[in-house]
Amino acid sequence: MSAEVVERIWARDAALWTGADEGKWLGWLDEPWRMREDVDLLLSFADSLFGDVDDVVLLGMGGSSLAPEVIRLTFGRDRFHVLDTTHPQAIRDLEAKIDVARTLFVSASKSGTTLETRSHTDYFHAKGGVWAAITDPGSELEELARKRSFRACFAGEPTIGGRYSALSAFGMVPAALMGVDVARFLDRAQEMADGCRHAEGNPGLELGLSLGENWRDSRDKVCIDAGASSFGLWAEQLLAESTGKLGKGLVPAPGEPADGPDRQAQDVRLANEYELGQEFFRWEFATAVAGSILGINPFDQPDVQSAKDKTKQILASGDDPLVEPSGSADELFAQAQPGDYVAILAFVNPTAANEEKVLALASRARKATGCVVTHGFGPRYLHSTGQLHKGGPPTGLFLQVVDDTGEEIAIPNQPFGFGKLIRAQAAGDFASLQERGRRVARVRLEEV
């Protein structure tokens, strides 16, 4: 049976999952070799910036930002910044750290239409800087890059979905700009990909079978080793968006203790930084295997659009989004049942101080409920775990946290600013969760 699963994945057999269009989304299987051919191009571009650029800012969301963020944290690159929030104060904070004129801005979006990324791009482009883009061929962003004479535009691979794109241009262009030895990184990924062709001793297969078989035993909370917590930022999206649908799903819980009847422990193997290339592929392959056990399409995201649609409706109305408190944390936590999980959804400025407050709230939730507790910053999590929240099992208790967005920052060519945008995103997701009958409350940051 194991040999058959491996063979069918490499044969692009959609019937292994649901028989839909899965076979069209398996380009990630070949990506370590495809990207390896472009290493000299990436390094040449990085070298061309010498003397012109002090900092790099990646503008992206979800699959376009999470792998670069994990690479940045793993390799400790403090002159590389990832902007995946629409909070006005976070944008001000970033702007205060950099000299815009000596900053490379990389606008990254597979579709080329991601609202947050296009808003960030228009805002910073009006201020100057050096520009590049990463996007799929023929997208609106590619056309914009050409129109605005960006220094470079790197093509994504259309047969790879965003969350499987870590080893594509969306991960490797940023890695090159951080000074990572991309050839070595991809060589390690190739070794893992080769290992994932075997019926025996296949690391991706073994992880995938463990994920799926534990799920069958009602252990759907995946407790990822706390020592590799930054990896969890990427693994969260991969697992949640791939499996959280049709009322099923694996609930990623980085750093959570694995002692509980609804939990499974999974390790991240990072003997050194360059093992990250291997782990990206191992977890991608494993998620495809687990998806076959869950009986879902691990390459679509049918419920992500709902929060986006609600946000657009709120913005189109012209009204100021209502993000008033609703219910309380204690009332929400009191509804917890065995097998549930709590998600803290923070639409606040993602500073270290605010993260400490969110973690303290998570600790409080853990003590009050005895449940696995996850947390994420909005709008980042909308592109990460949002699919699971709305399409996965109805076992989540969702506590949204909002703050004062402060003085507005206008977005060029839009009738709304960043403050209104993030409030609309919070209101839109809250409404979407309510619409699905999820248990949800909203509190203000200063009250927790």
pLDDT digits (tens, 9 = 90+) for 55-79: 999 999 999 999 999 999 999 999 9
Q: Tell me, what's the pLDDT at 348?
A: 98
444 strand-pairing partners: 402
The whole-number pLDDT of residue 226 equals 65
pLDDT score of 229 more than 80: no
The tens digit of pLDDT for each residue in 164-211 reads 999 999 999 999 999 999 999 999 999 999 999 999 999 999 999 999
Tell me, what's the pLDDT at 371? Answer: 98
Non-local CB neighbours of 274 within 8 Å, separated by 6+ positions: 181, 184, 185, 188
Distance of CA 394 to the CA centre of its chain: 21
pLDDT at 228: 63
Q: Which long-range contacts (CB under 8 A, 24 or more apart) does 213-216 make?
A: 213/293, 214/264, 215/248, 215/250, 215/290, 215/293, 215/294, 216/293
- Assess whether pLDDT exceeds 80 at residue 227: no
Task: Please give the structure tokens belonging to residue 5.
Answer: 């699963």
The span from the first CA to the last CA of the chain, in angstroms, equals: 50
Two structure tokens written together for 286: 């494993």
pLDDT tens digits for 7-18? Answer: 999 999 999 999
Q: How confident is the model over 114-129, as a mean pLDDT? A: 98
**Position 145 confidence tier, pLDDT thresholds 50, 70, 90:** very high
Given a cut of 70, is residue 223 above it in pLDDT?
yes
Q: Which domains does the chain have, with CATH numbers?
A: 2-16+195-271+280-294 (no CATH), 31-184 (3.40.50.10490), 304-447 (3.40.50.10490)
**Average pLDDT of the residues of the chain:** 96
pLDDT over 90, % of the chain: 95
Give Cα 53 to chain centroid, integer Å.
Answer: 27
- So what's the pLDDT on residue 304? 86
* Position 156 pLDDT exceeds 70: yes
pLDDT of 305 reads 84
- Per-residue pLDDT, averaged over 388-394, amounts to 98
List pLDDT tens digits, range 363-376.
999 999 999 999 99
Quick one: which of 230, 425, 206 has its CA closest to 312? 425
User: Which pLDDT band holds residue 2 (cuts at 50, 70, 90)?
Assistant: confident
CB–CB of 434/332 below 8 Å?
no
For residue 368, CA distances in Å to 254, 361, 439, 444 come to: 19, 10, 16, 19
Query: Is the model's pLDDT at 89 over the cut of 90?
Result: yes
Of the listed ranges 30-39, 88-97, 308-317, 431-440, the least confidently predicted one is 308-317
Model confidence at 21, pLDDT cuts 50, 70, 90, reads very high
